[in-house]
Amino acid sequence: MITGKNYIGEELSNKGDITFKTFNPNENKETEPVFYEATINEVDRAVEKAAKAFYSYKKKTDVEKAVFLEAIAIELESNAKLLKEIYRTESGLPEGRANGEFARTTSQLRAFADMLKEGTWVEAIINKAEGKPDIRRMQIPFGPVAVFGASNFPFAFSTAGGDTASALASGSPVVVKSHPLHAGTGELVSEAIIKAAKKTGMPDGVFSNLNSKGIEVGEWLVKHPEIKAVGFTGSYRAGTALWKLAMNRPEPIPVYAEMGSINPVVVLPSALEEKADFWAEQYAASITMGCGQFCTNPGLILGIDSTELNHFIQKLGENISKLVPTVMLSPGIHEQYENSKSEVLAQPDYSAVNKFGGQLNPHCGRQEIISVSGEAFLQNKNFHKEVFGPFSVVVKCKDKEQLKEVIQQLEGQLTGTVLNSGKKELKEYKEVIDALTETVGRIIFNGVPTGVEVCAAMMHGGPYPATSNAKFTSVGLTAVQRWVRPVAFQDCPQVLLPEALKNENSLGILRNINGKYTTDSL
């Protein structure tokens, strides 16, 4: 049952007077539950509980934390039917997407649990030599983390998503600022986390969930002195605002913000000579997947002007026009899409390729493709902007040098893709590919950027403004590194050392001892 209240640790609370409802974009109406926006007092209590919980939670063993994460996955699965139903109601996303995102959410919780059981994530380093200081180093958690739910992933990037899972794995309590578009989903997920915390003996305050339809709750949360780091997925405007708030605190804290990307795709000539129709079909599907509401949506396609590229553009347009548009996440996001698209279409020097020409249901995003010359793209930054939705720009460069110049002018991106079918050509375009690599966090060959595998090697981040810190990922096991810091213990008595650094390697983890990785004891 959805109460509309805030979770202040284990306590349900609704002290405020500001209320709101979520919206069903498919049925074009508000949902029934009423949600209570958190007050500043409730924000304070949530963070204070998290700060108190930190002192006991950080002492939990990795195995105990792993059991907690696994218990969250089990609690979510026990209520999967209702969770997916509310998810679809509040987001308008289809059943297949709900199933896939739910499975990803539970699997990444279990992946972090497995990481904890294995134990090497603490990066234990021991330098011990005769006549020198005994220095031992490992990672320890920052403290309470504020997580902002994302509009476009109610499960995987929100309440129990990657930010929360990785922060809890690190030993850091979490306070979530729930996204107002899916507050009902957020409450039910929070209920599962609280149940799991109680069942596994975690301290009250290890997790809280705060409702908000405005910006005040998020601002209070980031400015609270006991919050030690922030995880955010959303717009550039909101992400930079949070970063500025965090930097202006008496004690500045890191903000790990994923803020958008146009994800350039470089189509080399060989790819079009052999598989133009195939790639046109693949990219029409990728551009429209989830109505284009993916951070890895391919919003920019780059190639060298040729008969083959023109054929690809024509086929891409034909495929785009045949796909039935789907509903966007909310009326507000639909309006933003139309406004952003209109700004681009108000520019000179582009050619309309194709769009869906049929009638639209309310809040559905009409997909559209345009093309511009390399020269026009270089001269007009408006063509570089992200349009969050099913929209893409194809750039026809005059030669390889202009293609390289276009890439070098791009801002930081989450992904870059190269389509090709010949090794010789890869060598010929090495400088172009090197330029693309400098711009992105993940470079993909012969695929589509939509879809992010959750694994240890994944990098879901990129140079600014794709993210606020290009060193870190928000997907995959190394996402835990955002919430920890290294501490060195010099000539520390054995009795005071953390288990990971003691002579006897009771945890059996891989450690770097005098430059050699080993599981041996000292």
Q: Which residue has 């499975």 as its token pair?
A: 103
Q: Among 75, 258, 308, 411, which one carries the catalytic annotation?
A: 258
Kindly state the DSSP code that residue 364 receives in the 8-state scheme.
Answer: B
- Long-range Cβ pairs for the range 95-100 (8 Å, 24+): 97/290, 98/155
> What distances in angstroms separate CA 4 from CA 32, 45, 137, 206, 394, one per listed residue?
10, 18, 45, 20, 45
Kindly state the DSSP code that residue 102 receives in the 8-state scheme.
Answer: H
Q: Among 295, 308, 364, 386, which one carries the catalytic annotation?
A: 295
**Angle, helix 430-439 to helix 400-409, in steps of 10 degrees:** 10
Please check whether residue 19 is in contact with residue 35, taking contact to mean a CB–CB distance below 8 angstroms: yes
Instruction: Using DSSP, state whether 390 is helix, strand or coil.
Output: coil
For 60-84, give one letter per residue: b (16+ CB within 10 A) or e.
bebeebbbbbbbbbbbbeeeeeebb
Whether the bond between 465 and the residue before it is cis, its omega within 30 degrees of 0, is yes
Strands (E), 106-213: 125-127, 135-141, 145-148, 174-177, 207-210
Annotation marks residue 397 as catalytic = no
Please check whether residue 419 is in contact with residue 264, taking contact to mean a CB–CB distance below 8 angstroms: no
d(CA 255, CA 278): 40
**What backbone torsions phi and psi does residue 231 show, to the nearest 5 degrees?**
-115, 130
Radius of gyration for the alpha carbons in the chain, expressed in angstroms and rounded: 24
Task: From 103, 309, 74, 297, select the one nearest 192 (Cα to Cα).
Answer: 74
CA dihedral 290, 295, 296, 297 (to 10 degrees): 50
**Angle, helix 62-78 to helix 162-170, in steps of 10 degrees:** 150
Annotation marks residue 258 as catalytic = yes
For 415-445, give one letter per residue: b (16+ CB within 10 A) or e.
bbbbbbeeeebbebbeebbebbeebbbbbbe
Q: Which residue has 């339809």 as its token pair?
A: 213
- Based on the number of CB atoms within 10 Å of its own CB, is 321 exposed (0-12), middle (13-18) or buried (19 or more)? middle
Catalytic residues: 258, 295
